[in-house]
Amino acid sequence: MTLSKAEEQLMQLLWKQERAFMKDLIDAYPAPKPATTTVATLLKRMQDKKFVDYIQLGRSREYFPLVKKKVYFSKQVNSMIKTFFNNSPSQFASFFTEETNLSKKELKELKALIDSEIKKK
């Protein structure tokens, strides 16, 4: 089960807020904001898909993610790696390094980071 584009956008807003009432989510939308009913529909569909849940507070619902952004993102990347790079993360990594425009500074940071990863192993 995956999120559609519109659902994903909403999910992003929810991840950012951690927990939110519908109003907060709508506030967070850039203009042109969708109708409240649109957001309500999306939230309900996302519930059905088990991506969000809520607790009833008074007559309002405080929504929260059921899936961590990291986990969701990981799945996305892994599926891309599988699709595009024959399931080889290192192939993906090298492609990424070459194709993305990282500055020299960023590259150095990345290198340092990799170093610390290597040490962990």
Partner DNA sequence: TTAAACCCTCTACGTTTGTAGAATTAAAAC
Partner DNA sequence: GTTTTAATTCTACAAACGTAGAGGGTTTAA
Residue pair 54/64 in contact by the 8 Å Cβ criterion: yes
- Does position 75 bind a copy of itself by CB under 8 A? no
Smaller CB separation from a copy of itself, 60 or 76: 76
List, in sequence order, the alpha helices (H) in the chain: 5-17, 22-28, 36-48, 69-85, 89-99, 104-120
Report the candidate in 74, 23, 13 with the shortest Cα–Cα distance to residue 46: 13
- Amino acid in the structure at residue 97: T
34 binds DNA, rule: CB under 7 A = yes
For a copy of itself, the closer of residues 33 and 82 by Cβ is 82
Q: Does 66 bind a copy of itself (CB under 8 A)?
A: no
Show contacts with DNA in window 11-30 (CB under 7 A): 21-24, 26
Kindly state the smallest distance separating residue 28's Cβ from DNA, in Å. 12
Question: Which residues contribute to the site for DNA (CB under 7 A)?
Answer: 2, 4-7, 21-24, 26, 34-38, 40-45, 54, 58-61
